[in-house]
Amino acid sequence: MTPFRLLSGLLALGALAGLASAAEPPAPSRVTLGPDNVLLFNGRRVFPIGFTLAPPPGARSPRGVEGLKELREAGALTLRTGPTGNGSWDAAQLVREREWMDAAARHGMFTMPWLKELAAIPNAQSPKAEKLRRIVRLFQGHPGLGVWKGEDEPEWGKKPVPPLRTAYEIVRETDPHHPVWIVQAPRGTVETLRPYNPTYDIGGIDIYPVSYPPGGHSTEKNKEISMVGDFAQRIGQVVEGKKPFWMTLQIAFSGTTKPGKTLRFPTFPEQRFMSYQAVINGARGLVYFGGSLPATLNERDSRLGWNWTYWDRVLKPVVEELGDHSPLQPALTAPESKLPIRSSHAGAGLEHCVREAGKDVYILACKREGATVEAEFTGLPAGLTGGEVLFEEPRRVTVENGAFKDWFGPFEVHVYRFRRP
């Protein structure tokens, strides 16, 4: 008996009746894309930070707190779910998916179920297509559903576009309230990646630069961690400003965990730089990969099922700066500003973006590899006399005639907030 017939039989016999017929909570989730490519979860503008994979439902942190609760309190919002490894959308996975969604909803988070074997549908009238429709219908009203994840790294895998587009259209016709997200590998060109645009609403690339030797995840010449910005620029060119994109960044990956490889994690300065560089180059969300890989877990974390050591030492402070509870949140969910702010070292590896929220002007800036420089920023609005350097308090900068100066070392990040009178 095929997996689809087995699933159909189980549904028909009522073995999953509790899943299919249980009354949904009164507020199904709604995820929409704003005209400025900012995402709205239940009408609220967000900069989503998520994990592939997060701590399992019910699993505890070293503090005895449910893991998802601790991630949410730091400012995280999303978690990739769906089948993993050799798994598929069988009856057991449906039960597991409900557990994930219930746990996410309990803590104000949202799942991103991977469609896995259902991400490519050659024929819209096939049994496989009907199975996809059934699964989407089953979960589309759940308050813990965020976005559907389509095919994984399709350009690198040379996956034909039409079956991916058919799957995408089935999902969106069946569930118009949850977008589809696709992650590409750090491969291909703008020209080879762009044909996949009709298969998703939210684009993305995964890139993991920290390894021995450095930069092994990419085949490009740049082997520094600044390759994050390179690939953010690439996917930005692919979507042409018409779709948002997320960047998937590294906790760990196969290049640091497979036999013969040396385990290596990004340090706090590296992770902070990569995260901000992604934002500065247009990312509207971040996903961190590898926190659940068994090869990365020490003895304590193996019992807990997740890399809490890396979370505590490195990732939590980064999420607290960029997550839902950060003082930077208004800037992260604002459209790009049209203020003509320029940097004197833009050609020497300095990158920045400008956001306005209310009366506040924010500048997020970072420096690639190279020499330490003193940069000057010009073009600030009249009336500003100084600004805060967020997360470096009590440091401030002084503005004179719409300009200020500050120092940047290699892979350094500064975040400025200027309050208009």
Residue 52 within a domain: yes
Residue 219 within a domain: yes
Q: Residue 233 sits in a domain of what CATH number?
A: 3.20.20.80
What is the number of structural domains in the chain? Answer: 2
14 or 226, greater pLDDT: 226
Which residues are within 8 A (CB) of 221 and not within 5 positions of it... i.e. 6 or more apart? none
Q: Is residue 367 located within the same domain as residue 402?
A: yes
Q: Is residue 107 located within the same domain as residue 180?
A: yes
Residue 337 within a domain: no
Query: Which residue range forms the structural domain that includes residue 317?
Result: 3-332
Q: Residue 379 sits in a domain of what CATH number?
A: 2.60.40.1180
Q: Is residue 386 located within the same domain as residue 326?
A: no
Tell me which of 14-23, 60-69, 243-252 is least confident. 14-23
Q: At what angle do helices 67-74 and 91-106 cross, to 10 degrees?
A: 50
Instruction: Indicate the SS3 state at residue 262.
Output: coil
Q: How far apart are the first and last CA of the chain?
A: 71
Residue 193 within a domain: yes
Please say which residue of 270, 305, 332 terminates a domain.
Answer: 332
Q: Is residue 166 located within the same domain as residue 280?
A: yes
Q: Is residue 282 located within the same domain as residue 152?
A: yes
Please say which residue of 303, 332, 361 terminates a domain.
Answer: 332
pLDDT in tens, 253-310: 999 999 999 999 999 999 999 999 999 999 999 999 999 999 999 999 999 999 999 9
Q: Is residue 400 located within the same domain as residue 283?
A: no
Mean pLDDT over each residue of the chain, to the nearest integer: 94
pLDDT in tens, 299-338: 999 999 999 999 999 999 999 999 999 999 999 999 999 9
Residue 11 within a domain: yes
Which residues are within 8 A (CB) of 86 and not within 5 positions of it... i.e. 6 or more apart? none
At 26 the pLDDT is 55
Say if residue 14's pLDDT is above 70.
no
Q: In the sheet where 403-408 sits, what is the strand order? A: 342-343, 373-378, 403-408
Q: Is residue 296 located within the same domain as residue 391?
A: no
Show the CA angle centred on residue 409, arms to residues 403 and 414, nearest 5°: 50
Residue with tokens 């998520």: 50
Q: Is residue 202 located within the same domain as residue 284?
A: yes
Please say which residue of 307, 332, 357 terminates a domain.
Answer: 332
Q: Is residue 298 located within the same domain as residue 373?
A: no
Q: Is residue 179 located within the same domain as residue 268?
A: yes
Residue 188 within a domain: yes
At 206 the pLDDT is 98
Residue 332, CA distances (Å) to 38, 177, 278, 328, 354 in order: 9, 23, 12, 6, 10
Say if residue 23's pLDDT is above 70.
no
Q: Is residue 317 located within the same domain as residue 358?
A: no
Q: Is residue 52 located within the same domain as residue 186?
A: yes
Say if residue 11's pLDDT is above 80.
no
